Structure 1
Amino acid sequence: MRTIGEVAAELGIEAHVLRHWEQVGALTVRRDGNGYRSYDDDALEQARTVLKLRRVGLSLPEVTAAMAPKKSAAQAVVRAKIAALESEVGRAQQAITYLQHTVDCRHRYLDECPECAAFVREL
């Protein structure tokens, strides 16, 4: 069994973050006889999962849904996040392509370049 401070230190986060996760239902923690939070191995693993899901971009409501007992509900949330991330990757790749062209462009001014103009029209 671990205290909230020990778990927070192990995960590299503040104790108030763990309290917030518990408050919003993303984390379930037992209390000891004195009412103090007591983290067993299962609670620690759940906290690690919440942290990882947050770090890959899920909001707390999405984390809670992704950890739902019904696998189909969890999968729907994760699939939606994957689609959103893939869209972001696509936009980032377009930005890189455009910016790389502007670096390599032989035209003195970008508005003189037909390729730059084509990129601008895509926005």
Structure 2
Amino acid sequence: MKSSLRSIGDTAARFGLETHVLRHWEDKGLLAPARDGADRRLYGDDDLVRIAVIVRSKAAGMTLDQIGVLLADDHGSRRHAVLQEHLADLDRRMEEMRRSRAMAVHAFECEAHDMTRCPGFRATIADVLDGSSTWSAAIAQARP
């Protein structure tokens, strides 16, 4: 089955993007769409897959430089390093989200209507309050 080619406007609309975003990604070397006789960009199925990788990776917090390494054919060891770094970042962010959710659930259920007065929340930051720890140290210690 032959891939049909799409305009930049149609391609951008499929992903909910502005056309300038696709041009920027092309300038960064992430995309290389075909061109017609009038030098208009034409996107095929392979381009759509690359765009989907970029969109998903950006949503997961990756930079365009990191995504460029993922999409390159010649960076095997760098690719693994970027992915390991990204997985560690995802784990850290997921743990932060877990703690934020726990705090929101506690606040919802807490009778102390004011989180700054809540004894349960204050207990979780007692070491920061008494000066025996810093916020960043307390966060690092709570990591699995």
Q: TM-score range by the shorter chain?
A: 0.7 to 0.9
Gapped runs of 5+ residues in structure 2? 129-134, 136-144
Q: Report what 1:23 is aligned to.
A: 27
Is 1:61 aligned with 2:58?
A: no
Task: Quote the Cα distance in structure 2 between the aligned partners of 1:111 and 1:11.
Answer: 45
Q: Report what 1:33 is aligned to.
A: 37
Structure 1's 34 and 87: CA in aligned 2 closer, same or farther, altered over 3 A?
same
Q: Report what 2:139 is aligned to.
A: none
Gapped runs of 5+ residues in structure 1? none
Once the two structures are superposed, the pairs formed by residues 1-123 of structure 1 within 5 Å of their partners are 1-69=5-73, 70-101=75-106, 113=119, 116-120=121-125, 121=127, 123=135
Structure 1's 5 and 105: CA in aligned 2 closer, same or farther, altered over 3 A?
closer
- 4+ long deviations beyond 3 Å: 95-113, 115-118
Which piece of structure 1 moves more, 89-98 or 61-70? Answer: 89-98
Q: Percent identity?
A: 29
Structure 1's 108 and 21: CA in aligned 2 closer, same or farther, altered over 3 A?
closer
Contact persistence 2:31–2:47 (CA under 8 A): yes
Task: Quote the Cα distance in structure 2 between the aligned partners of 1:19 and 1:108.
Answer: 49
Contact persistence 2:6–2:44 (CA under 8 A): yes
Give aligned pairs, total: 122
Q: Which amino acid aligns with 1:84?
A: D
